[in-house]
Structure 1
Amino acid sequence: MEKTTVSDWHLADEIETKEDVIGMLEAAFEENDTKFLLKVIGEIARSKGMAQLAKELNLSREGLYDSLSPKGNPSFETVVKVLDNLGFQLSVQQKKAS
């Protein structure tokens, strides 16, 4: 019997357009789960090139990976800088009534 190998799947590999990014960020914010949001932002950052992003933000690549991992705890400033570098900004809107 032939062995089957499974390769790692990464969300970053599926991001192709700005609309993909917007949809992923909107969905992540709707979940109201900080760890999930950081994972999504991390995947978006990977899709754009984590090494270059870290360089532009004057951070180490490893530090940025760690910050945006589910176990990470980045400063709000780091999150805002990452989103800004990716071409996004945070905004506030009132929650929809349940």
Structure 2
Amino acid sequence: MPLETFEYDSAEFLGCEEAIAEYLLAASEDGDANHIARALGVVARARGMSDLSRNTGLTRPALYRALSGDGNPEFGTIAKVADALGYKLNLVLKSDRGSTAAVK
């Protein structure tokens, strides 16, 4: 008897802001731009791609393409999407640089 499988969609499990924030944090930890773009795409689908399209001024097809993880979105597009979703991009000094001085 063949094994029955079901398609898994992460967007279905991002029902609250805490889950979304944790999901985006985990996706950003390795610094892979495609992974971050794909995670933003999942969050966008969870929230509604039409709303994101209106808020960013980008078409739905352009958003799907840019946030697929296979596209090559410009940094400005990623920043615009993050902002429209209520997030900001933040650069943090790596802890393995050997410095104990705080960055202000």
Quickly name the TM-score band, shorter chain normalised.
0.7 to 0.9
Stretches of structure 1 that go unaligned for 5 or more consecutive residues are none
What are the Cα deviations for residues 26-55 of structure 1, in whole angstroms up to 9, with x where unaligned? Answer: 111112211111111110111000122112
Q: Match of 2:43, SS?
A: helix
What is the CA distance between 1:77 and its match in structure 2? 1.2
What are the Cα deviations for residues 63-82 of structure 1, in whole angstroms up to 9, with x where unaligned? Answer: 10000011111111111111
The residue aligned with 1:12 is: 11
CA distance in 1, matches of 2:32, 2:72: 13
Q: Match of 1:52, SS?
A: helix
CA distance in 1, matches of 2:89, 2:32: 16
Stretches of structure 2 that go unaligned for 5 or more consecutive residues are 98-104
Q: Match of 1:79, SS?
A: helix
What is the CA distance between 1:7 and its match in structure 2? 3.0
Q: Percent identity?
A: 33
- Match of 2:40, as an amino acid? I
Normalised to the residue count of structure 2, the TM-score between the two structures is 0.82
Does structure 1 residue 88 correspond to structure 2 residue 90?
Answer: no
Structure 2 counterparts to residues 74-85 of structure 1, below 5 A? 74-85=73-84
Number of residue pairs the alignment of both structures matches: 97
- Runs of 4+ in structure 1 over 4 Å off: none
Aligned-residue RMSD, C-alpha:
1.7
